[in-house]
Structure 1
């Protein structure tokens, strides 16, 4: 059967079923609204303002190895078939994405196995912009975590702790990835800070740069310690400058492909 015939048949079927679903949808929406009301009530300090923490990306988005992280190939042409479809080739660790425990361990949890309760979490934003302005490879240290605690209170159990270095504004410029000489240069976490956050009960960390470790890291100490410990990370997060240090709730739309070491994710915060 031709694609056009299929589409026309589906269209007619949808039209004939629309009235049937209209009544059911009204009931469903009422139930969904009640559920959303309960969910919103559970969000600490939430006012309902949503902030997208995800970069839109294509083949030009900067990647660690310099190769395109996503490739588009036309699979179905709208002029020929009446609808359009892309075939995507996506590398897991590109764009705004998750690093699952399996990324740096043989038997760690895959991205599909991340505990769902850790995908909705209190968000703590550590401001590293001043340090990053002085040193492109600045690191979040234990003292930075302590300073945040002194100003904002304890790190909540299960929190996502995000480093705001200001690097997201550099996307599209070569300095997001490296120096003029070609050396990697961007801020990240120190192992002493992430070991401390593990003790405090944080479930995930996030950076607005290419890597959880700083650009000049020679040993990927954070990757090798934080991830095998059963925790996960988010890289290339966006718009942290629009959030308070404390009080936002992060929603982490992690992909769920089996045996995945990570993958592009839609990240949203509600303030």
Structure 2
């Protein structure tokens, strides 16, 4: 029977020099685990921030028989860093913090905490997670463990890839009238300072909500060397606790972010 053990001490690096936090041991029995893909596929319909000048482009180089008589298929692709399911490196909004290739790989694997605000977001497309939401969640499920990967479910992934429904507006080049839910600054501050989360993630286009102009959540988590995952999907298939997340961004040297395959190990 195959098992993976997640345990041990995790250094927080430049977040808190010299501080060590012990993570709870978590064993994954692969024979009794469902693997959930939390990523959207990349194609011509992939949603990018409205001010991006290009989207995902795939160009076929060869598909068919070679001169040697065997089949061969190859493409080239081009994409901005920030679009589709992707990671925001801390330096995206925080000078001097980790770039994409600086993030220690152990920071991208860990136990998941999932908070569901889809009911509140259905009645307010600009809803932001509050400290009260977190307090209510902890009353029901216990304290958020240090070094968790914190995921916010708003239900917005069901709107993908309808750009107007997902973003609140589909005017090319204009990000001034967007409407979608996400994290609030006070909740983000609590999560990085009081619960020491290692990553936050959301099933919308940004860890700041659509109307945000100052991008305070990006700045708060970036300053704490906490990465953000955006445009996640299938969060409805994850329990509030018990899943383990693996986020595997393309390792772009000095990148501000990267397309990312995010998977979850969920006990059956």
Verify same fold: TM over 0.5: yes
Q: CA deviation at 1:64?
A: 1.1
Q: Distance in 2 between matches of 1:78 and 1:67?
A: 32
Match of 1:151 among 140, 143, 146: 140
Aligned equivalent of 2:159: 170
Q: CA deviation at 1:79?
A: 4.3
Q: Distance in 1 between matches of 2:217 and 2:110?
A: 21
Aligned equivalent of 2:245: 250
Q: CA deviation at 1:39?
A: 3.4
Match of 2:39 among 39, 54, 65: 54
Match of 2:113 among 121, 124, 142: 124
Q: Distance in 2 between matches of 1:193 and 1:208?
A: 17
Q: Distance in 1 between matches of 2:170 and 2:124?
A: 15
Q: CA deviation at 1:230?
A: 0.7
For structure 1, which segment, 50-59 or 74-83, has the greater mean C-alpha deviation from structure 2 after superposition? 74-83
Q: CA deviation at 1:223?
A: 0.8
Aligned equivalent of 1:73: 59
- Structure 1 contact 44–247 (Cα < 8 Å) conserved: no
Unpaired runs of 5+ in structure 2? 8-24
Relative to structure 1, the CA distance from residue 166 to residue 67 in structure 2 (aligned partners, 3 Å threshold; closer, same or farther) is: farther
Match of 2:26 among 35, 43, 54: 43
Which structure would you say has the larger Rg? 1
1:11-33 deviation line (CA, Å, top 9, x unaligned): xxxxxxxxxxxxxxxxxxxxxx8
Q: Distance in 1 between matches of 2:66 and 2:126?
A: 51
- Structure 1 contact 69–95 (Cα < 8 Å) conserved: no
Aligned equivalent of 2:185: 191
Tell whether 2:205 aligns with 1:228. Answer: no
Q: CA deviation at 1:154?
A: 1.0
Secondary structure at the aligned position of 1:88 is classed as: strand
Normalising by structure 2, we get a TM-score of: 0.82
Q: Distance in 2 between matches of 1:72 and 1:116?
A: 28
Normalising by structure 1, we get a TM-score of: 0.81
- Structure 2 contact 5–28 (Cα < 8 Å) conserved: no
1:208-255 deviation line (CA, Å, top 9, x unaligned): 000000001111111111112211000001100011111111111122
- Which protein is richer in strand relative to its size? 2
- Structure 2 contact 3–28 (Cα < 8 Å) conserved: no
Aligned equivalent of 2:204: 209
Q: CA deviation at 1:37?
A: 2.6
- Structure 1 contact 251–267 (Cα < 8 Å) conserved: yes
Secondary structure at the aligned position of 1:227 is classed as: helix
Moved over 4 A (4+): 179-182
Alpha-carbon RMSD across the aligned residues, in angstroms, is: 2.1
